[in-house]
A and B are shown apart, each in its own frame.
Chain A
Amino acid sequence: MTTTALPSYEDAIARYEPVIGLETHVELGTNTKMFCACPTEFGAEPNTQVCPVCLGLPGALPVANRAAIEATIRIGLALNCDIAPWCRMARKNYFYPDMPKNFQTSQYDEPLCVDGYVDVLVDGETVRIEIERVHLEEDTGKTLHVGGATGRIHGATESLVDYNRAGIPLVEIVTKPVPGIGARAPEVAKAYVTELRDIIRSLDVSDVRMEQGSMRCDVNTSLNLPGEEWGTRTETKNVNSLRSVERAVRSEIIRQASLLNEGTRIFQETRHFQETTGDTRPGRSKETATDYRYFPEPDLVPIAPDTAWVAELKAGLPEMPSVKRARLAEEWGISTVDMQSVANAGAIELIEQTIAAGATPAGARKWWMGELARRANETGVELAAVGATPAQVAQLQGLVDEGKLNDKLARQVLEAVVAGEGDPAAVIEARGLGVVSDTGALTAAVDEAIAANPDIAAKIRDGKVAAAGALVGAVMKTTRGQADAKTVRELILERLS
């Protein structure tokens, strides 16, 4: 490691051109595993969802899960890939205790889907990410290293293996190298993974939750001087959130630029992203490349998807997120850029549901993209988990539209809703927060304000109606914001006319 100060991102990117590539693993949400009938539920007691097949017991044989093949083809189609008319699974041989057979059944030179693309929008500009391949494989078990300080194998006193995950179908989506994106590389990477997540979610084939590991991303990064050949790439693993994708690319660009500045060469290696520090640390060296001795899996028959079936799957694809965004942007009357912010905030479905519950598009968007987005950001939770439901937001906006709440009161009510005090109507009831528009109740407050501000009152009497705002403010203050501003204004003008 270098002791000299790291260059700034701006300096790094001013001098070098980055090339990125992404390998994303998605655990499919099939009911059963890839090659046996074991359930796939997340979080079960260790080693309870296993059988001779997924434990790789002597003599056991795999049978491919049709639902997993179907899901992979649908992902391929959604990513504009060609579907192989004939392909095979392959064995990837290496020894590791969380792999029951000491080979992983995967695909090698005959992937199920090839040559696709995804368009992503970054700063209002479309970037096309080309997809090299989408293939199907089985997941490994999980190893838990106990007794060490780090949870890694070094220093551990024992290692425990849970084979529940072994054999869960996994789809690997590999992009072609993405050059020519310059300083936007981190954002492009994040936008791609986000788009991929949304596409797969729309297909309903995986819950694509990065924090639970059902979507995992490896980021390849290299730097080169303008006009020169692409540099040596590193592969960063352990990138477990969308934000980390962006941070990992950024920090790897800075780290590599620093080495290149010193004239040090980049080693092809696997690095691990550190969530806490935001940088990458060295992992397994790939200088001596592992020879996986791939060969076609003789225990399985080739996969030859019928063209009619593929056509049927293609016809049955849901509306793609990008198409849906364009449609909603038009329906909601907002710009593409605004729509992108809505998407980035994870607010599309929430706003849709809020509209479905009776709110106007503008009203629904205002709350989710304003007050609630701010709160989610502050507390570090996803918008959907912020504590308010679309129905509650729709009810809140309805009360505002009816004049029963003003903006300030509505925000107070929302805060209570988020705090778990119930629906807006219940909060108003419990806290007595409704707008007071009863003239009788307000007259005293208006008279008090006039008496306390004789100068302003005089101006209004002289016809300077605009001055009434100050008196309205005073009344609102004494009524703790619960007065209906329109009624107050009418009362003031009536008294001083």
Chain B
Amino acid sequence: MTDVTRMTAAQVAGLISKGDASAVEVATAHLDRIAAVDERVHAFLHVDREGALAAARAVDEQRARGEELGPLAGVPVAVKDVIATRGIPTTAASKILEGWKPPYDATIVQRLRAAGTVMLGKTNMDEFAMGSSTEYSAYGPTNNPWDLGRIPGGSGGGSAASLAAYEAPLAIGTDTGGSIRQPGAVTGTVGAKPTYGGTSRYGLIAFSSSLDTPGPCARTVEDAALLHAVIAGHDPRDSTSIPQPVPDVVAAARRGAGGDLTGVKLGLVKEFAGEGAEPGVLAAFHESVEALVKLGAEVVEISCPHFEYALPAYYLIAPSEASSNLARFDGVRYGLRVGDDGNRSLEEVMSLTREAGFGPEVKRRIILGTYALSSGYYDAYYGQAQKVRTLITRDFTSAFERVDVLISPTTPFVAFPFGSRTSDPYQMYLADLYTIPTNLYGGPAISVPCGLSEGLPVGFQVMAPTMADDRMYRVAAALESAVGTLTPPSLEARA
């Protein structure tokens, strides 16, 4: 039998539904692959071998009984460790939650289970999703399968790397400023951030409530769409969830794979297509634009004058919300507790717990956000950033009056070596320069591989209007059909 770990999720699902492979065989193959390579990749913080095999057996039994299987039944999936999984450790890659096992499942995890997917385990990330390299994981970084000395992107580097290392065909990520798309770009995989409110946040450990969006990660656009369709849709437990039907993203991806973009208008974001990005990234991007034109798309240059303020606005809004969201980690009810020796005061114990439990980037953002929300500074910082957010939203809405989608490189640079951007936070923040505007607007965006620069993957970003997630899948799938998927060098060869 061919190696199932090299297959797409759609292919794996097909095998299982036809009975050509059992879900247990598929799960075992992936678990074995994890056992073989994850020591070098470190995509996983926790592997749930027993749980995965039990879920796989349930799918096989269901099939044996002749019951109808869902489109992804028996397909393994890796879940970012920021998402609550009942009885399975969920740490958000932080020491402060070490050993915490949630008593409940996130809504998207419930949906994954109901669809018959097989959860392999929890993936590594920057602590509380704050970072662009996984270097801020309290449990050590994830290594990029393309070059183990380089970052896999962040915060969802573990999810993206698990795909590139063939440890899982599907993964769940969360995108607050680019944490699905940027890791997708630098690992040569597909990462989609759905419309904010299109996927439930219930059970997603909050970083920035008004920006956080869970979404699918895969090796192909169609696979991402299949996973998107399983997890998306209104959730009454999330007040910000949109009570509208999800656009048919799977049909859109399949249509796009046909390679015809006649009549589709692409808006090339002027501010993101020139200086600031690495030449190799720009070259791959512009070649891809040419390829899309050949498929019939029309390209228009669009100026989004407020995008240049997106990064500073984001670094006020996200830390402000984070400073409040992370206040609950105080050692009183769950997780780490430090210094409770019977003599210290409550404040001291809380303080020592947070001192020991949070890493440097988390502390930096809590301090930043606390300051920005302080009385006397609120209007100048948080209030001003919200105004910028409104202006960025207007840039998007007026652009979408002229074009169907906006396009840009996903990130200005390819995977960088470990340690090269940790000493200057601003250099790290630049990794999300092109992805952040979408989060502030709330629309969907996808990163799809579009070639290599110096042997490393480059991502192509397609941004669509809110609740028009299907549009980006169509364009991304068309591009994928033109430039193909990327295959990293074999890990075995480098063993």
Residues of A in contact with B (beta carbons under 8 Å apart): 52, 55-64, 91, 93, 95, 97, 100-103, 159, 161, 291, 293-295, 298-301
Contacts and interface: CB of A to CB of B under 8 A. Distances in A.
A84 to B, nearest CB: 18
A59 B204 contact: yes
15 contacts: A56-B333, A57-B103, A58-B328, A59-B206, A63-B239, A64-B239, A95-B347, A102-B328, A102-B330, A295-B320, A295-B382, A298-B209, A298-B210, A299-B239, A301-B240
B60 interface: no
Given A59-B205, A60-B202, A61-B237, 12 more contacts: A57-B103, A59-B106, A63-B239, A91-B324, A100-B328, A101-B328, A102-B327, A103-B324, A295-B321, A295-B382, A298-B210, A299-B209
Most central of B320, B324, B330, B334 by chain A CB within 10 Å: B324
Contacts of B237: 61, 63
Nearest to A51: B104
A295 B369 CA distance: 11
Interface in B322-339: 323-324, 327-330, 332-334
Contacts of B238: 61, 63
Contact of B324 (A52, A161, A293, A301): A293
Contact of A97 (B104, B208, B323, B332): B332
Nearest to A159: B346
Most central of B83, B103, B240, B328 by chain A CB within 10 Å: B328
Given A293-B375, A295-B378, A56 B328 contact: yes
B193 interface: no
Most central of A52, A56, A62, A64 by chain B CB within 10 Å: A52
Interface residues of B, number: 44
Nearest to A301: B239
The 4 residue pairs across chains A and B that have the minimum distance between CB atoms: A102-B327, A298-B209, A293-B373, A298-B210
B350 A95 contact: yes
B101 to A, nearest CB: 11
B30 interface: no
A95 B84 contact: no
Contact of A59 (B83, B321, B324, B375): B83
A142 to B, nearest CB: 14
A295 B239 CA distance: 17
Most central of B236, B346, B374, B382 by chain A CB within 10 Å: B346
B327 A93 contact: yes
Contacts of B324: 91, 93, 103, 293, 295
B100 to A, nearest CB: 7
B370 interface: yes
Given A93-B327, A102-B330, A59 B202 contact: yes
A59 to B, nearest CB: 4
Contact of A52 (B103, B204, B208, B382): B103
Contacts of B370: 293
A238 B210 CA distance: 38
Contacts of A294: 373
B346 A97 contact: yes
Contacts of B106: 59
Given A58-B205, A102-B330, A291-B375, A63 B236 contact: yes
Interface in B209-264: 209-210, 236-240
Contacts, number: 99
The secondary-structure label for the interface of chain A is loop
A303 to B, nearest CB: 11
Interface in B175-222: 201-206, 208-210
A291 B90 contact: no
Contact of A103 (B320, B327, B375): B327
Contacts of B468: none
Nearest to A91: B324
B88 to A, nearest CB: 13
Contacts of B201: 61
Interface string B375-395: 100100010000000000000
A293 B210 CA distance: 17
Contacts of B488: none
Contacts of B373: 93, 293-295
Contacts of A93: 323-324, 327, 373
B239 A61 contact: yes
Nearest to B96: A58
Most central of B92, B236, B320, B330 by chain A CB within 10 Å: B330
Given A59-B202, A59-B205, A293-B374, A100 B240 contact: no
Most central of A59, A102, A159, A300 by chain B CB within 10 Å: A59
A64 B236 CA distance: 11
Given A61-B237, A299-B240, A300-B239, A95 B327 contact: yes
A64 B237 CA distance: 10
Interface in B2-59: none
Contacts of A62: 239
Nearest to A101: B328
Contacts of B100: 58
Most central of A52, A64, A293 by chain B CB within 10 Å: A293
B321 A298 contact: yes
Most central of A58, A59, A97, A300 by chain B CB within 10 Å: A58
Interface string B118-152: 00000000000000000000000000000000000
Nearest to A161: B332
B280 interface: no
Contacts of B350: 95
A93 B327 CA distance: 8
B333 to A, nearest CB: 7
B443 to A, nearest CB: 17
Contacts of B103: 52, 57
A300 B203 CA distance: 15
Given A64-B239, A291-B374, A59 B102 contact: yes
Nearest to A56: B328
A58 B327 contact: no
A55 B209 contact: no
B97 interface: yes
A95 B330 contact: yes
A108 to B, nearest CB: 11
Nearest to A89: B239
A62 B350 CA distance: 25
B91 to A, nearest CB: 10
A103 B100 CA distance: 22
Contacts of B374: 291, 293
B164 to A, nearest CB: 27
Nearest to A143: B346
Contacts of B102: 52, 57-59
A103 to B, nearest CB: 5
Contacts of B346: 97, 159
Contacts of A61: 201-202, 237-239
Contacts of B104: 52, 57, 59-60
A62 B90 CA distance: 20
Contacts of B378: 293, 295
A433 B149 CA distance: 103
Contacts of A100: 328, 333
Contacts of A91: 324
B32 to A, nearest CB: 31
Contacts of A301: 239-240
A101 B202 contact: no
Contacts of A56: 328, 333
